[in-house]
């Protein structure tokens, strides 16, 4: 069994939990996921099965799209709704949509983030959440991420001295949306947190076509494996090149090709079948992974 699964991860489970359960449902050991989702987050979790696990790294590198809600007025230990309240800043109803929209545009482009203490980022061999649970604060490494789009998608709702609104963000891998919500609040002068999040797209897979574990189990029971997508879905975010028969043969022998391209990586196809991932080396492209 080889291919890609568009899994709709539900709240309350880790990405690892989802993979573990899929191994039991599919009776396959070789399964991995392309991009971790926090337990409280729902949405698209790309899954690779069998030989398709060889394209996992390209799925992980792909950009993501999220929809969620930000609450201004108080912050939490985890930067989301699951944490304990740590600071309040009452929000006045004079806060305008224009001011929020203007602040959101400041985050578009390359930005620097400090990962939340409740995260899986490792410092000195331990994950940050282990320090957080022990009540220890450690210096966290900064990271560069890219925000392609960040917009408010609802009216403002004022309640209990807080302000809530929905948003949509398109971003690079490694972006902490919780931290983005907190940093936006700081920009506006308020304590804040991410009160809801759903990943709507990842690695070319869309939430509207995603299936839950229960739906997948039901299909497997009926011996319906139509939900397993071709391995080609794993490289949708890579630039595509179509090879001729002679070039395909050269690639099968691991030989380099001279191609008029500048991209670092190319997904090489022959007759609509994924043949290889090619990596630019000086003036030629070397087969990095061959799938023949």
38 is catalytic: yes
Helix, coil or strand: residue 130: helix
Helix, coil or strand: residue 119: coil
Virtual CA dihedral for 202, 204, 208, 214, nearest 10 degrees? -70
Report the largest interatomic distance among the alpha carbons of the chain, rounded to a whole angstrom.
Answer: 69
State the catalytic residue, choosing from 38, 183, 237, 242.
38
Show the CA angle centred on residue 170, arms to residues 165 and 172, nearest 5°.
135
Q: What is the DSSP letter of 108?
A: S
Phi/psi class of residue 73: alpha, beta or left (left: φ > 0; alpha: ψ in -120 to 50)?
left
Whole-angstrom distance, CA of residue 280 vs CA of residue 94? 54
Task: Write the DSSP assignment of 176-217 as a string of letters.
Answer: -HHHHHHHHHHHHTS-EEEEEEEEEEETTEEGGG-B-HHHHH
Looking at 134-288, list the stretches that DSSP marks H as alpha helix, in order from N- to C-terminal side: 177-188, 213-221, 245-252
Q: Any idea which residues carry the catalytic annotation?
A: 38
């Amino acid at each position: 069994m080889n291919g890609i699964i568009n899994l709709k991860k539900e709240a309350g489970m880790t990405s690892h939990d989802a993979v573990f359960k899929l191994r039991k449902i599919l009776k396959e050991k070789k399964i991995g996921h392309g991009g971790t989702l926090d337990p409280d987050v729902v949405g698209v979790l790309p899954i690779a099965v069998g030989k398709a696990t060889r394209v996992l790294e390209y799925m992980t590198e792909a950009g993501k799209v999220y929809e969620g809600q930000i609450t201004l007025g108080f912050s939490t230990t985890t930067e989301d709704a699951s944490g304990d309240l740590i600071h309040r800043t009452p929000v006045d109803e004079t806060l305008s949509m224009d001011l929020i929209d203007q602040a959101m545009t400041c985050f578009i482009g390359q930005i620097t983030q400090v990962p939340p203490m409740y995260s899986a980022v490792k410092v000195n061999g331990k994950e940050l959440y282990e320090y957080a649970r022990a009540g220890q604060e450690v210096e966290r490494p900064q990271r560069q991420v890219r925000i392609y789009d960040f917009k408010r998608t609802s009216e403002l709702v004022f309640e209990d001295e807080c302000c809530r609104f929905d948003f949509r963000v398109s971003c690079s891998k490694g972006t902490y949306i919780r931290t983005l919500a907190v940093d936006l609040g700081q920009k506006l002068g308020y304590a804040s947190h991410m009160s809801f999040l759903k990943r709507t797209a990842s690695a070319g897979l869309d939430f509207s076509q995603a299936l839950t574990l229960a739906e997948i189990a039901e299909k497997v029971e009926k011996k319906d494996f139509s939900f397993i997508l071709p391995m080609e879905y794993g490289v949708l975010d890579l630039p595509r090149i179509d090879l001729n028969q002679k070039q395909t043969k050269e690639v099968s022998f691991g030989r380099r090709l001279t191609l008029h391209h500048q991209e670092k990586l190319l997904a090489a196809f022959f007759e609509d079948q994924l043949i290889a991932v090619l990596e630019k080396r000086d003036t030629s492209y070397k087969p990095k992974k061959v799938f023949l």
